[in-house]
A and B are shown apart, each in its own frame.
Chain A
């Protein structure tokens, strides 16, 4: 079991549009500034990571996480500035490296790239990629990206971008490499791939019981052993709402978290989550909604179950008010995180 003091706690956002004090939905520019305000608060309160995910949709304001992170970089001191995720398949690994190395410079070494395939694929038609190359694109680009990490001249060739011959990439980071993680959504192939490249793995667990992921953690460990790479404690990304009471948090989650999941599901032809399904997710599934004590108990159980070293709370799903989001960050930092460490240390 990992030292409870070393567990990394993060906050994840896609830049969901919140409502303002009058109940009006913010526009996307306001939503981006709100995320910066939230990250400043999280930094002051000692949260370890802020992770911003790339999307290209009307309900999410963040399409270029590292630009928002750069804004946050100059106004914060300690917090790690991560993406969650950078959709590498439809990006260029060299440019991703350059942008995050720049962020690393601005933040005195606090940049972290979390690469993934993304559960959304709107970036494919947007940037002119063919979905039928889905696997090839990710496989080649993660290979190239991994080659950039030692910051030496790189030679690479493949089908999805121009070849490189002994090319140097700038700027160089001060610590000699970029901190890189891989996020996976439960495809066994992705788990094995993360292990093959020796990247720490973050599991996006957005539905069902976390118990289902125990074998995935085992798969990551076994694969790391086979490829002789280091198996890091896994990270977890899940949705949640923390409020002063269980009742308030659950109703906010029903109104906002569920609504945002339903909107996405709807596009995929999925029936809306029923109250019964929702209650099950809250009780034993992957929506962490409740008072600080309730959420801390559930988080501690999940962290222990998966032997996790990192937990990231997607805190702003749906059109939650900016005020409720800020309050949630306070409760998470001041009450939930210390309480989770305490519960884990007790055993």
Chain B
């Protein structure tokens, strides 16, 4: 049986990830913010091999769930339905959608740490957040193909980071492990990799430069590291 990938969010990012996942051979379930009938036409046209479902169905039936909803709505997720699952957090703070939310830009915590502390029983891994959705669509390449681009990944549990890395690889990118979820702040808006569409070595270089950015300094200071 092929693995089932669930996507919460049927907007720009959710549909592009759905397109990559179905092309990679996953069975894909997608939920929007309302009932599945609301996104039926969209999914049938943009992601024809995926199945529209309710958010709860996605959480319950999928082996792996990708979060592609506005970050500001993360507390509308169901911790119980997502318990024990690998949850890939692709969300970012975007003020034009989320409004002013100091809680989501607190330099002491990465946004994925907030998501993990809300989804206590899930295995949260951060990935697919730093590359723009049109680059994700344009830049997928098979394993070993020249010019392949890289996706950063952060997580606390080795086993689940490995599983998420497999998803990244299957969808067409080289995974680059950043570190723990706390280190996931290196891939957030304001970092040198946010928006980066680069290969593995370049991505590693950019991640290492985090401390040199204004955001990096702010984070170090807030976390009492220097």
Inter-chain contact A219/B45, CB cutoff 8 Å: yes
Partner of A188, one of B11, B93, B190, B194: B11
How many B residues face the partner with a CB closer than 8 A? 36
Given contacts A270-B189, A270-B195, A212 and B96 within 8 Å (CB-CB): no
Inter-chain contact B197/A131, CB cutoff 8 Å: no
- Is B103 among interface residues, defined by CB-CB distance under 8 A? no
Q: Which residues of B lie under 8 Å from residue A277 when comparing CB positions? A: 197
Question: Quick check: which of B58-66, B78-86, B134-142, B153-161 contacts chain A, the rest being far away?
Answer: B134-142
Q: Which of B66-113 contact A (CB under 8 A)?
A: 92-99
Q: Which chain A residue shows the least CB distance to B93?
A: A269
Q: Which chain B residue shows the least CB distance to A195?
A: B41
Q: Which residues of A lie under 8 Å from residue B223 when comparing CB positions? A: none
Inter-chain contact B138/A271, CB cutoff 8 Å: no
Inter-chain contact B138/A222, CB cutoff 8 Å: no
How many A residues face the partner with a CB closer than 8 A? 30
Docked complex Cα distance between A212 and B11 (Å): 14
Given contacts A188-B46, A192-B42, A268 and B98 within 8 Å (CB-CB): no
- Is B143 among interface residues, defined by CB-CB distance under 8 A? no
- Is A218 among interface residues, defined by CB-CB distance under 8 A? yes
Inter-chain contact B193/A271, CB cutoff 8 Å: yes
Inter-chain contact B12/A186, CB cutoff 8 Å: yes
Partner of A212, one of B138, B193, B195: B138
Inter-chain contact B96/A222, CB cutoff 8 Å: no
Q: Which of A206-246 contact B (CB under 8 A)?
A: 207-209, 212, 215-216, 218-219, 222-223, 226
- Is A119 among interface residues, defined by CB-CB distance under 8 A? yes
Q: Which chain A residue shows the least CB distance to B14?
A: A188
Inter-chain contact B41/A269, CB cutoff 8 Å: no
Q: Which chain A residue shows the least CB distance to B105?
A: A269
Docked complex Cα distance between A189 and B38 (Å): 9
Q: Which residues of B lie under 8 Å from residue A218 when comparing CB positions? A: 45
Q: Hey, what's the 0/1 contact readout for A130-166 against B, CB within 8 Å counting as 1?
A: 1110100000000000000000000000000000000
Q: Which residues of A lie under 8 Å from residue B197 when comparing CB positions? A: 277
- Is B183 among interface residues, defined by CB-CB distance under 8 A? no
Inter-chain contact B137/A271, CB cutoff 8 Å: no
- Chain A to chain B contacts (Cβ below 8 Å), 15 pairs: A131-B99, A188-B15, A188-B39, A208-B137, A208-B138, A212-B138, A215-B46, A219-B42, A222-B45, A269-B92, A269-B93, A269-B189, A270-B132, A270-B194, A277-B197
Beyond A212-B137, A269-B215, A271-B194, list 19 extra A-B contacts (CB 8 Å).
Answer: A131-B99, A132-B99, A134-B97, A188-B10, A188-B11, A188-B12, A189-B11, A207-B134, A208-B132, A208-B138, A212-B134, A215-B45, A215-B46, A219-B45, A222-B41, A222-B44, A269-B93, A269-B195, A270-B189
B interface residues (Cβ-Cβ under 8 A, vs A): 10-12, 15, 32, 39, 41-42, 44-46, 92-99, 132, 134-135, 137-138, 188-197, 206, 215
